[in-house]
Structure 1
Amino acid sequence: MQMENNHELDDEMLAEYDFSKMKGGVRGKYVERYRTDTNVVLLDPDVAQAFPTSDSVNEALRLLIQISQRQKV
């Protein structure tokens, strides 16, 4: 079911956001650092409910790694 929007979205950027007037910026300056230092994973709602924190997810995955390594031996 699609929700109806009662107002039209304006695709035009406001004048105060005129990036052409900004000087000295470098596009993509931090993109490599972002790619190497960021690892975001989206959990399905049922999984997120069972593992609500990063620590709980990491603990469960480490346990799974240990189990899988024992099964290989």
Structure 2
Amino acid sequence: MNKTPSNQNNNSEDELLAEYCFDYQKAKSNRFATRSQVQKLTVVVLDEDVAPVFTRT
């Protein structure tokens, strides 16, 4: 196993950027993802006081 260099300096400017550019043309499919054709059903039950705000689609 490769070890990461321990002499790297942690920089205070090393934070998340506001925006990242991602080249989707170079993206590869996830070979570990399941290829099941079965759709999964997700059910959300709302309390009666908030249910009228949401409409059924």
TM-score range, shorter chain: under 0.3
What is the TM-score with the length of structure 2 in the denominator? Answer: 0.25
Which protein is richer in helix relative to its size? 1
What is the TM-score with the length of structure 1 in the denominator? Answer: 0.22
Greater relative contact order (Cα < 8 A, sep 6+):
1
